[in-house]
């Protein structure tokens, strides 16, 4: 999809961040022609990367003009020098943009523990050609083990006028964030107050990136940023603001879906819909536990109709479950209903598990709470990719 928010330009270049060889796009800039109201959420991992620390500090100061990003090296677990390098990266981007370094958000992704080649990155920043419709190149520059760029734009026709949003994201491994995914940036030309933006980005993360899991690992670098530059002149209020918030959430859900579908070694994506929970929070807990269960993931990969793993995962999640009233469905096949196993066609379940997209429904039998989460199978290819990551 294409939608270019007014007042943003974007571009990418080759810096040879990881190897020193300019073989692929690995640095990018997203630039607004005016200061943006900005909000973000970051990794909850206690081992937090230097770019997250610096960017969080810059957001607390106020407006943001640009996002500077690199792939290949995460600048995580790099000590005091890592923070100095993140600041130097902001300074190099600010020089290109013509703004204060404090107006630059920094994001990095890649190998943990390696020093960041700031000189190569700074040089590449100076070579970037910023254009209004260059989102795909920027998304490609963010990739590590991703097989395709994630770039999606939407247009919202509000009562007060038209606003546009565009999001880019990366992520394929270490996907089990407790706030957002590895890297995701959403830009809009709407005019949004800072307090509303903070609320909107937190809610959008919870409904999208918080609800996906590939491997159960939370990255040191997880960053979701939402920038609003107001260039459209449209300021959503009341019902328009509700529509705008829904648009942001929908865009984030699409980006999250693209990430989980492109997960390392993924051959199947499964959606878990939990209902009958004592609360929505309990439903989310059960759904996310099911999506991260290695036993569920391997059963789906092997097309094994072992539905007991699903119910067992819900039972250990911490959510309240009444097994005498619980129900489990694989697509439209009831395998366990109101506390009793049902006779079912095992080959039909194998066929469902063999599809690219798998639907699982679980009713916990205790209330009206509900939630969704998305997970992936666990394949031999995932093991190969991560066994060879630094080599």
What are the pLDDT digits (tens) for 5-21? 999 999 999 999 999 99
E-state strands within the chain: 8-13, 27-42, 64-73, 104-111, 150-158, 161-170, 183-188, 212-213, 223-228, 269-277, 327-330, 333-337, 340-341, 357-363, 369-376
Q: Integer distance in angstroms from the first to the last C-alpha of the chain? A: 35
The structural architecture, per CATH, of the domain 269-387 is Roll (3.10)
Write the DSSP symbol of residue 232: T
Q: What percent of the chain has pLDDT over 90?
A: 77
- What are the sequence ranges of the domains in the chain? 8-261, 269-387
Grade residue 223 by pLDDT with cuts at 50, 70 and 90: confident
8-261 and 269-387 in the same fold: no
Could you tell me if 201 and 13 are in contact, meaning their C-beta atoms sit under 8 angstroms apart? Answer: no
181 is annotated as an active-site residue: yes
What are the pLDDT digits (tens) for 25-39? 999 999 999 999 999
Region of residue 72 (left: phi > 0; alpha: psi -120 to 50; beta: else) = left
Please report the pLDDT score of residue 242 as a whole number.
97
pLDDT exceeds 70 at position 217: no
Residue 46 or residue 293, greater confidence = 293
Predicted model pTM: 0.81
Per 3-state DSSP, the chain is made up of helix, strand and coil in percentages (nearest 5) of 35, 30, 40
Please report the pLDDT score of residue 379 as a whole number.
81
The mean pLDDT value of the chain amounts to 91
Q: Which of 109, 144, 181, 327 is catalytic?
A: 181
What are the pLDDT digits (tens) for 317-354? 999 999 999 999 999 999 999 999 999 999 999 999 99
Residue 308 or residue 391, greater confidence = 308
Say yes or no: domain 8-261 is CATH 3.40.47.10: no
């Amino acid at each position: 999809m294409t939608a270019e928010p007014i007042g943003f330009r974007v571009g990418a270049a080759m810096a040879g961040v990881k190897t020193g060889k300019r073989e692929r796009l690995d640095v990018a800039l997203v630039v607004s022609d005016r200061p943006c109201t900005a909000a973000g959420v970051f990794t909850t991992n206690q081992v937090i990367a230097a770019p997250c620390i610096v960017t969080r500090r810059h957001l607390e100061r106020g407006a943001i003009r640009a996002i500077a990003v690199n792939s290949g090296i995460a600048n995580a677990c790099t000590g005091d020098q890592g923070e100095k390098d993140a600041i130097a990266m902001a300074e190099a981007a600010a020089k290109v943009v013509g703004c204060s370094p404090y107006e630059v958000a920094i994001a990095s992704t890649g190998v943990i523990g390696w020093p960041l080649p700031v000189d190569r990155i700074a040089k590449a920043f100076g070579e970037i050609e910023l254009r209004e419709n260059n989102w795909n190149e920027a998304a490609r520059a963010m990739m590590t083990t991703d097989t395709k760029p994630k770039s999606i734009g939407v247009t919202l026709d509000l009562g007060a006028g038209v606003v546009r949003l565009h999001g880019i994201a990366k992520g394929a491994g270490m996907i089990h964030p407790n706030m957002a995914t590895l890297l995701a940036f959403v830009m809009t030309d709407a005019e949004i107050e800072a307090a509303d933006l903070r609320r909107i980005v937190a809610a959008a993360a919870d409904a999208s990136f918080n609800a996906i899991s590939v491997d159960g690992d939370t990255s040191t670098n997880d960053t979701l940023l939402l920038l609003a530059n107001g260039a459209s002149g449209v300021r959503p209020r009341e019902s328009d603001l509700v529509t705008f918030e829904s648009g942001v959430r929908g865009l984030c859900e699409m980006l999250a879906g693209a990430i989980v579908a492109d997960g390392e070694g993924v051959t199947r994506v499964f959606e878990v819909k939990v209902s009958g929970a004592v609360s929505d929070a309990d439903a989310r807990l059960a759904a996310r536990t099911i999506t991260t269960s290695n036993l569920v993931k391997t059963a789906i990969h092997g097309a094994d109709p072992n539905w007991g793993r699903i119910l067992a995962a819900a039972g250990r999640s911490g959510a309240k479950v009444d097994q005498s009233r619980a129900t489990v469905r694989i697509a439209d096949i009831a395998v366990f209903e109101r506390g009793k196993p049902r006779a079912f066609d095992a080959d039909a379940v194998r066929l469902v598990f063999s599809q690219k997209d798998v639907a699982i429904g679980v009713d916990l039998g205790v209330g009206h709470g509900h939630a969704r989460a998305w997970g992936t199978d666990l394949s031999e290819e995932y093991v190969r990719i991560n066994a060879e990551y630094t080599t």
